[in-house]
Structure 1
Amino acid sequence: MVFGMATKKITVTIPEELLDEIRTEAAERGLSAYVAEALRFKRDRDRLVEMVDWLEEEYGPVAEDERAAAREELDELDAEHKRRRTAGEAA
C-alpha cells in the first residue's frame, strides 16, 4: 500500500479458487496491495492496447513477423518466470 494515498474500501466478487491462489501469492504484501497492483497492471495494459490501436491507425498494422517475434519473446519470458517460480518452490 502506498502511504499518504487516499483509499476506499470496496466489495469485489471473484472465483474462490482464484482467491485461494492470490492469497498464497500475496501473503507478504497483503491481499489489498496485491489487488491494487493487479488493477494498475490491467489499467496500464489497457492504455498500451489503446496506444497500439492509435499507432496502427497512423502507421498501419504490425507485420506478422514482428508479431511472431514479440510472441516468441513473451514465451521466453513466461518460461523464465515459470523456471524461477518452480526453483523458488523447490527451495
Structure 2
Amino acid sequence: MSGGTKKFSVTIPEELAATVQARIGTASFSAYVSQALARQVERDNLRELIAAAESQHGPVDRAEVDAKRAILRSDLGQGNDHTSAA
C-alpha cells in the first residue's frame, strides 16, 4: 500500500496497548497497527475467496486438507526443494 496516511482515533484495551508497547519498544506504534490491519485485510480477502470457491465447488474436504498439510510438513521437514511444477 502506498500513498498518504490518514489519522484515526481508536480505542483499544489498556492491557493490549501495554503488550504491544512492550513488544515494539521505541518503534512506531502506528506502523505496528498498520501492519496488523494489513494482515487482517489479507485474511478477510482469503476468507472471501474461500467462500466464493466453496459456493462454486462445494465445501472443502477436511481429510484432503489434512493430507496435503501432512505432505507439506513432511517436505518442509526434510528440506526438499520442490520448485518444479506438479
TM-score of the superposed pair, with normalisation by structure 1: 0.65
TM-score of the superposed pair, with normalisation by structure 2: 0.68
Question: How many matched pairs?
Answer: 71
Indicate the percent of aligned positions where both proteins have the same amino acid: 38
More helix by share: 1
Larger Rg belongs to: 2
Query: How far does residue 71 in structure 1 lie from its aligned partner after superposition?
Result: 8.2
The C-alpha deviation readout for 1:35-87, integer Å capped at 9, x for no partner, is 00000000110000000000101111011213545888xxx9xxxxxxxxxxx
Report the CA distance shift for 1:26/1:66 in structure 2 as closer, same or farther (over 3 A).
Answer: farther
Q: RMSD in angstroms over aligned alpha carbons?
A: 2.5
Instruction: Please say if 1:33 is aligned against 2:19.
Output: no
In the alignment, structure 1 segments of 5+ residues that lack a partner are: 77-91
Hey, which bits of structure 1, 4+ residues long, moved more than 6 A? Answer: none
RCO (CA 8 Å, sep 6+): is it higher in 1 or 2?
A: 1
The residue aligned with 1:60 is: 58
